[in-house]
Each structure stands twice: as C-alpha cells, then as structure tokens.
C-alpha cells in the first residue's frame, strides 16, 4: 500500500492542501503579474487576414470552442483554419496574421505535452496571439493556465491580445462520476457560455484594430501552488490498473492517436505506465470499452458512457449548422 492510499480522504486532502500552500509560497514571485517589457511589443498588423485556431482536445470540449471562435472570425471576414495541434505542422505558424490556441486544463495547468510543443515552435515575432482554456471543475486555476500558454507564445515573439476560459461538463473520470464539481457542470456549455466565446473572439479583433495588447500576468491563487506538485505522479499512484483488454480491443487505434506521449503499444496492446500522463484520453475515447483502468481498485468508465448513463446531451452552437471551416 502506498503512502497516500493509506490515508483517509480528509487526511489526504489536508496533506495536499498543506503542500499546496507551501508550494504557493515558494512560487509566489512566479505568480505575480509580470512587469511590462522595456518596450511594448509591436503588432505586425492591425488588419489580420489569415487566422489560425489551434486546439488540443481529448473529449471534444476544447475543439467545440475552437470551432466557434473560427466561425466568428470567419464572419468578420478573415480566412480561418481550425486545426488539431497534434496534427499541425508548427513550421507554418509564421504564415498566419493571428494565432489563437486552446487547450483543456490538466492538473491546474496547461498540459505538459502542449508546453513542450510550444517551446519548440519557430519565432512568430509580432504575430497577435490569444489563448483560451476549457475546464470542467469550477476552480481549476483557469486564468493562470491560459496565461501559461500566452507566456510561451510571447517567448517566441507573439503579442498577446486575448485570454479566455470557458467551463463545460467535466470529462475527468472518477468512480461513478459522482464528484460534486462534476455534477454541478452537467448543463454546460449553455447559451451563456457560447455568448462569452463569441465575445472573446470579437474582443481579439477589437484589440488588434486598436493596437491594444494584454500582459501575460499570473494571478496569486492557492491552485497556482497545486500545479507545482507532482500531481500526475500522485494520480498515477492511485490508478491501480491500466491495461488494454485484448479480447475487447477492435484494433481501431483511436487510443493510440489520442495518446499525447505514445504510451500505448497497439501491437502488444499494453500501456507504458512510465510515459502515461494520466490524461484519460484512451479511456474517454475507446469505442469498445477495451481500456481497463481502476482507480484505487474501482473500475473507471469513460466520458461517452458517462453521458449515456446520465442522459446528458451537449449543446452545440447554432453557428455549426451553417458555418463551414477549412
């Protein structure tokens, strides 16, 4: 039995909160808003023509918001490409006049594989950039997660002009999906959520036209400290089993494509636990229920099954009926 497993729920929460407070104190300087640079960044254009909306999504939530942003930008007269970040050639980034990037929040931060990806992109000096995150829980350090994306883009010369965070139904699996935070967001996204997404897209263009930039500054928050903890490692310790059922597997390789670290070996039908990021993409996307995952001895089931069991239908923006994107 590992250390955390030996603790009861209240003790474990107290343990994590104590460590979070300590980590927050240690990284306080990193959480303070950044000072302006010696000279304000200069936009390479105030009249963008070509926009790129990149998304990383495991259950379609972030992709939905990315598509809606793309539709709004297209309505405003831009030529828009909406692309899966995992399949996009990063060397093409400098070809665009505007780059918008969206990811889910994983463990109170931008997913580590996306941070690694952003650190290797080419210079995009002067390009207007915006970032947004999707999140399932009410308190997920959303501001700082989206700021982290902006900061990495700014490090490559991008000029921040927008930042957003949009909540949706939770897709983080727990036994029976009964966590109160998950239940509280079952009705999302709703019409108000989509209105905020439209406003976010419109504000980006408004900022560019007026040459208005934003500072990629962090907020001081307890959950900013949580992202400095080894949460992936801790969560993997709670996952007592993570395999592929060879009898159920149909060989579609959806799990292989969804895995950001190539931790799933299709021919051997096994999971490399060392590479796994505990993102649950394999579990949430397997159409054959062949991914076997147990959390402290309890079998988990994926997002589609959760929607089915609870008769949840996710609302789609009305724009999707008429908007066609490349």
User: What is the DSSP code string of 36-103?
Assistant: PPSS----S-SS--EEEEEE--SSSHHHHHHHHHHHHHHHTT-EEEEEEGGGS-GGGGGG-SEEEEEE
Instruction: Give which of 134, 136, 133 is closest to 184, Cα–Cα.
Output: 136
Alpha carbons within 13 A on the beta-carbon side of 111: 27
Query: Can you tell me the distance from the alpha carbon of 205 to that of 214, in angstroms, rounded to the nearest whole number?
Result: 13
Q: How many domains does the chain fold into?
A: 2
Q: How many residues can be counted in the chain?
A: 326
pLDDT tens string, the chain, 326 residues long: the values are 444 445 444 445 555 554 554 454 444 444 444 443 445 789 999 999 999 999 999 999 999 999 999 999 999 999 999 999 999 999 999 999 999 999 999 999 999 999 999 999 999 999 999 999 999 987 778 999 999 999 999 999 999 999 999 999 998 887 776 776 678 889 999 999 999 999 999 999 999 999 999 998 888 777 777 788 888 898 889 998 999 999 999 999 999 999 999 999 878 788 999 999 999 999 999 999 999 999 988 999 999 988 998 899 999 999 999 999 98
Query: Can you tell me the distance from the alpha carbon of 103 to that of 145, in angstroms, rounded to the nearest whole number?
Result: 9
Kindly give the pairing relationship between strand 128-135 and strand 50-55: unpaired
Tell whether 156 and 291 lie within a shared domain: no
Tell whether 202 and 153 lie within a shared domain: yes
What's the pLDDT score for residue 219? 84
Q: Are 80 and 74 in contact (CB under 8 A)?
A: yes
What's the pLDDT score for residue 39? 57
CATH number at residue 157: 3.40.50.360
Query: Can you tell me the distance from the alpha carbon of 280 to that of 285, in angstroms, rounded to the nearest whole number?
Result: 9
Tell whether 166 and 61 lie within a shared domain: yes
Tell whether 90 and 216 lie within a shared domain: yes
Query: Can you tell me the distance from the alpha carbon of 99 to that of 127, in angstroms, rounded to the nearest whole number?
Result: 7
Tell whether 55 and 182 lie within a shared domain: yes
Instruction: Give which of 65, 44, 66, 62 is closest to 53, Cα–Cα.
Output: 66
Two tokens at 46? 């105030």
What's the pLDDT score for residue 153? 98
Tell whether 189 and 62 lie within a shared domain: yes
Q: Quick check: is 59 in a domain?
A: yes
Kindly give the pairing relationship between strand 79-84 and strand 50-55: parallel
Q: Quick check: is 178 in a domain?
A: yes
Q: Are 135 and 189 in contact (CB under 8 A)?
A: no
DSSP secondary structure string, 234-254?
Answer: HHHHHEEEEEE-TTT--S--H
Q: Quick check: is 109 in a domain?
A: yes
What's the pLDDT score for residue 229? 85
What's the pLDDT score for residue 16? 53
- Helical segments of the chain, H only: 9-26, 28-31, 61-75, 112-118, 142-155, 180-184, 191-209, 222-226, 231-238, 254-258, 281-285, 303-309
Q: Which domain holds residue 53?
A: 41-221
Q: Report how far Cα 104 is from the mean position of its chain's Cα atoms.
A: 2
- Report helix, strand or coil for 201: helix
Q: Are 292 and 243 in contact (CB under 8 A)?
A: yes
Tell whether 260 and 172 lie within a shared domain: no
Query: Can you tell me the distance from the alpha carbon of 245 to that of 47, in angstroms, rounded to the nearest whole number?
Result: 53
Tell whether 82 and 195 lie within a shared domain: yes
Q: Quick check: is 301 in a domain?
A: no
Tell whether 199 and 237 lie within a shared domain: no
CATH number at residue 255: 3.30.70.20
């Amino acid at each position: 039995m590992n250390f955390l497993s030996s603790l009861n729920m209240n003790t474990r929460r107290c343990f994590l909160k104590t460590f979070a407070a300590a980590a927050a104190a240690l990284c306080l300087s990193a959480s303070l808003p950044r000072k302006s640079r010696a000279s304000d960044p200069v936009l390479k254009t105030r009249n963008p023509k070509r926009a790129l909306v990149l998304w990383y999504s495991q259950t379609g939530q972030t992709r939905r918001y990315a598509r809606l942003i793309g539709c709004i930008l297209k309505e405003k007269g831009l030529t828009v490409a909406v692309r899966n970040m995992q399949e996009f050639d990063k060397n093409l980034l400098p070809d665009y006049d505007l780059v918008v990037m969206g990811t889910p929040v994983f463990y109170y931060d931008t997913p580590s594989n996306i941070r690694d990806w952003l650190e290797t992109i080419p210079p995009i000096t002067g390009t207007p950039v915006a970032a947004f995150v999707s999140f399932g829980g009410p308190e997920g350090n959303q501001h700082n997660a989206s700021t982290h994306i902006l900061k990495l883009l700014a490090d490559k010369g991008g000029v921040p002009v927008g930042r957003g965070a949009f909540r949706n139904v939770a897709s983080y699996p727990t036994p029976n999906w009964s966590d109160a935070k998950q239940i509280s967001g079952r009705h999302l996204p709703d019409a108000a959520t989509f209105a905020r997404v439209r406003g976010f897209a419109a504000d980006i263009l408004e900022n560019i036209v007026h040459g208005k930039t934003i500072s990629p500054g962090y907020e001081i928050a307890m959950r900013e400290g949580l992202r400095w903890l080894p949460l992936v490692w801790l969560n993997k310790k709670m996952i007592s089993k993570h395999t592929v059922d060879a009898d159920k597997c149909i060989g579609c390789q959806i799990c292989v494509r969804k895995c950001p670290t190539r931790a799933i070996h299709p021919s051997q039908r096994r999971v490399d636990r060392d590479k796994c990021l505990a993102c649950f993409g394999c579990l949430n996307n397997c159409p054959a229920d062949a991914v076997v995952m147990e959390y402290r001895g309890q079998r988990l089931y994926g997002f589609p099954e959760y929607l089915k069991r609870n008769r949840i239908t996710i609302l789609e923006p009305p724009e999707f009926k008429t908007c066609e994107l490349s």
